[in-house]
Chain A
Amino acid sequence: GESVGLHLPTLSVQEGDNSIINCAYSNSASDYFIWYKQESGKGPQFIIDIRSNMDKRQGQRVTVLLNKTVKHLSLQIAATQPGDSAVYFCAENPPDSNYQLIWGAGTKLIIKP
């Protein structure tokens, strides 16, 4: 079945640097993608989403890039802060999933002081 995978389970970044979290998806027909952040002891929190008719979307300090040619999604966090430490999940919405998101396993982002 379809799956969403992450290239790195853990990412360590120096505070102040930019972070890039990658995600591969397998269904080329997926039309909606979303990123969530989960801090320790909390539920996932929405960060940003993007539809397949776009290749880039920006939020506050975050940018999501979508490359449909290689079925790749990335989340860029500018000027990483200690509060960005969390597990980041990407999810896709395949057309045949009855609107049920398919979730990746997550990437843990560690901020080095």
Chain B
Amino acid sequence: KAGVTQTPRYLIKTRGQQVTLSCSPISGHRSVSWYQQTPGQGLQFLFEYFSETQRNKGNFPGRFSGRQFSNSRSEMNVSTLELGDSALYLCASSLSVPGTGELFFGEGSRLTVL
């Protein structure tokens, strides 16, 4: 059974640009969550989608957005990139609601903003 796949794995952008990250969940999983991880920090929740609907959103500015498609694949977008957006962006999928069972994480997309 294939795991959670995130693309691209690494990318470098400059300030002001925008970026789109992709996440393919485990087959059959309908919930996809996104997290930002910076050095020395825990996982900061961005948003969670279930059946194409955003059910929950963390405390990030509107430059961070996401969506989920009918096949459960999800994308997140960051516009007008800032240096502080440099981080590892993790996607996790689960069968149902995230807080009641195991989350399956991808290996992340490492974004560097110059």
B contact residues, total (Cβ < 8 Å)? 25
Report, as a range, how many residues of chain A touch the other chain.
20 to 34
- Is the pair A101, B98 in contact by a Cβ cutoff of 8 Å? yes
- Is the pair B100, A32 in contact by a Cβ cutoff of 8 Å? yes
Q: How many A-B contacts if CB must be within 8 Å?
A: 58
**Residues of A contacting B: mostly:** loop
Give the segment of A12-20, A40-48, A53-61, A67-75 that binds chain B: A40-48
Residues of A within 8 A of B (CB): 4, 32, 34, 36, 41-46, 49, 89, 91, 93, 97-101, 103-106
Inter-chain pairs besides A36-B103, A49-B102, A98-B55, 8 sampled, C-beta below 8 Å: A4-B42, A34-B102, A42-B107, A44-B90, A99-B97, A100-B48, A100-B58, A105-B40
